[in-house]
Each structure stands twice: as structure tokens, then as C-alpha cells.
A and B are shown apart, each in its own frame.
Chain A
């Protein structure tokens, strides 16, 4: 899976999202993903991650994607966070 496919799938599920994907091994199976989305407002971290996992479907079940580090923020959190 490519970084672009991951971004497209997440943006498809969360139309307001801004998504950054880093394929940190360059092998299409280990990714760091940062999602900033207004849809995350008032949701727990578990609920936010579940939305992203649902967008990626079967791919995240260890076969296509082996590792996925996920950061989920609302726009107001992203504005406050210095990373």
C-alpha cells in the first residue's frame, strides 16, 4: 500500500481531515499517520483511532500494513501542539 492510498482512504472516510503519511521504512508496510479532523471533536482517542482503522479496513489487520503509528487530533488541538 502506498502513502497516497492511505491518505485517500482516510480523506474519503473523513472529508474534513488533513492527513500526513510517512512510510518510514519505504517498503509500503510501516507507516506513521497524523490525522487532523473536525470529525474527532468530542470523541475519545479510542473512538478516533477506530474511525481511522475502519477507513483502512482489512489493510490494517497485519497482512498489508504491519505497523501503523497513529496520531489523531482535532483542529484546535493541532493548533496548540508544537511537534
Chain B
């Protein structure tokens, strides 16, 4: 069971250079932290994919165990867990996020 959901997650993050697990969708975020995270990536103007954890209870619980991270949203760039809303905003403000995202997207 756990292995199945971890494999799904691994496949998703491997096939999307910028992947955001969130509550709701970019147009209709269901949580302020998810909305704030989407705002950052919209400002960067990069292509990203999202997974709505509210639509899939197995992913919602599985993603927390996968990353040892108890909260949503979770951002994965180039297959690697980068953090949640606070970390992404902090990295955006410090200028660290943009080069990370650009180099990941350039590999596509």
C-alpha cells in the first residue's frame, strides 16, 4: 500500500520539473498557504504542475510520509523536495528560488 502511493509520487515528481502538491487548484486554492505558494510561481512566470491533495486522500497522507513533512503545500523541483510555503517564499525573497527553477525547467 505505502509502496504503491510512494511509487505514484516518485513517478509524478520525476515527470514534472516543478510540481506543487496543494489544496485545491491554482485557480481555486482552498488554503492560504497553497494560494501564496502558487503566487510565487506565477510571479516567476514558469510552467508548473499541481496535484490537488483534497481530491485524493491516499496522496494527501502519502505525501506527508514520503517527505517526512506534515503540511501541505509541498514543492518539488527537479525531483527534489524544496519545502513548503514559508521556505519557498523565503527562497524567492532571497533570490535563491529563481535560478533553481530556471535550471530545472531548462532541462525539460
Measured CB to CB, the residues of A under 8 A from B are 45-46, 49-50, 53, 60-62, 67-71
Measured CB to CB, the residues of B under 8 A from A are 32-33, 64, 68-71, 81-87, 90-91
> Do A60 and B71 touch (CB < 8 A)?
yes
Instruction: Decide yes or no: A60 and B70 within 8 Å by CB, A45-B90, A67-B32, A67-B33 being known contacts.
Output: yes
Contact of A62 among B71, B81, B90 (CB under 8 A): B71
> How many Å lie between the Cα of A70 and that of B86 in the bound state?
6
A-B contact pairs, 14 of them (CB 8 A): A45-B87, A45-B90, A46-B69, A46-B81, A46-B87, A49-B83, A49-B87, A50-B68, A61-B70, A69-B33, A69-B86, A70-B86, A71-B86, A71-B90
**With a CB–CB cut-off of 8 A, which chain B residues contact A60?**
70-71
**With a CB–CB cut-off of 8 A, which chain A residues contact B32?**
67
Task: List the 7 closest A-B pairs by CB distance, nearest first.
Answer: A45-B87, A60-B70, A70-B86, A61-B70, A46-B83, A53-B70, A45-B83
19 further A-B pairs in the complex, CB-CB below 8 A; given A45-B90, A49-B87: A45-B87, A45-B91, A46-B69, A46-B81, A46-B87, A49-B69, A49-B84, A53-B69, A53-B71, A60-B70, A60-B71, A62-B70, A62-B71, A68-B71, A69-B33, A69-B85, A69-B86, A70-B86, A71-B86
